[in-house]
């Protein structure tokens, strides 16, 4: 049982997934800091509010923190854009490039005398009977 578990954990896909999760968490932290420390102050310089997370409204003693939601929404849009432009588009371009088929081998050739199309294996032109 332990042998099977060890084989499962050390499988290539499992290690790739673990690395992807760790890098995803680190990338999320960087983007969150970018939004919190650079983008939110930039937007607040234009709009006048320095901290989106403090934006709230209250209905029947329930507080809705829509500013905090705006911070997370901006983070999500930046992460989605980064993944799209840095991962999805290059992978799609590689897949498209690999799908392009090589031109098919020609099955005919041109007769040097009459310029008609004849099979590659022909030794004589069917139209002008010149020897090839």
Q: What pLDDT score does 102 carry? A: 65
| Dist. CA 87–CA 24, nearest whole Å | 13
**For residue range 30-66, what is the model confidence (pLDDT) as tens digits?**
888 887 788 777 877 777 766 677 778 889 888 888 8
SS3 of residue 64 by DSSP: strand
Residue 67: band (very low, low, confident or very high) from pLDDT cuts 50, 70, 90: confident
Q: What pLDDT score does 12 carry? A: 65
Q: What pLDDT score does 62 carry? A: 87
Handedness of CA 10, 95, 85, 66 (dihedral sign): negative
Say whether pTM exceeds 0.85: no
**For residue range 71-80, what is the model confidence (pLDDT) as tens digits?**
788 878 888 8
Q: What pLDDT score does 6 carry? A: 74
**For residue range 103-124, what is the model confidence (pLDDT) as tens digits?**
777 888 888 888 888 888 888 8
Q: Pick from 95, 74, 93: which is nearest to 31 by CA?
A: 74
Domain ranges of the chain: 2-99, 107-132
Q: Which CATH architecture has domain 2-99?
A: Orthogonal Bundle (1.10)
Instruction: Considering only residues 102 and 130, tell me which one the structure prediction assigns the higher pLDDT.
Output: 130
Q: Pairing relation of β-strands 108-110 and 57-59?
A: unpaired
| Dist. CA 62–CA 82, nearest whole Å | 35
| Dist. CA 97–CA 65, nearest whole Å | 47
Residue 4: band (very low, low, confident or very high) from pLDDT cuts 50, 70, 90: confident
| Dist. CA 114–CA 3, nearest whole Å | 74
């Amino acid at each position: 049982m332990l042998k099977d578990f060890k084989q499962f954990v050390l499988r290539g896909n499992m290690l790739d997934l673990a690395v992807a999760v760790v890098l995803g968490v680190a990338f999320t932290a960087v983007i969150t800091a970018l939004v919190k420390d650079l983008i939110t102050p930039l937007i607040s310089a234009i709009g006048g509010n320095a901290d989106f997370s403090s934006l709230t409204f209250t209905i029947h003693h329930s507080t809705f923190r829509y500013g905090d939601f705006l911070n997370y929404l901006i983070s999500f849009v930046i992460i989605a854009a980064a993944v799209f432009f840095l991962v999805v588009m290059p992978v799609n371009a590689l897949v498209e490039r690999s799908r392009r088929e090589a031109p098919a081998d020609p099955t005919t050739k041109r007769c040097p005398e009459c310029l008609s199309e004849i099979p590659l294996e022909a030794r004589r032109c069917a139209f002008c009977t010149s020897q090839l």
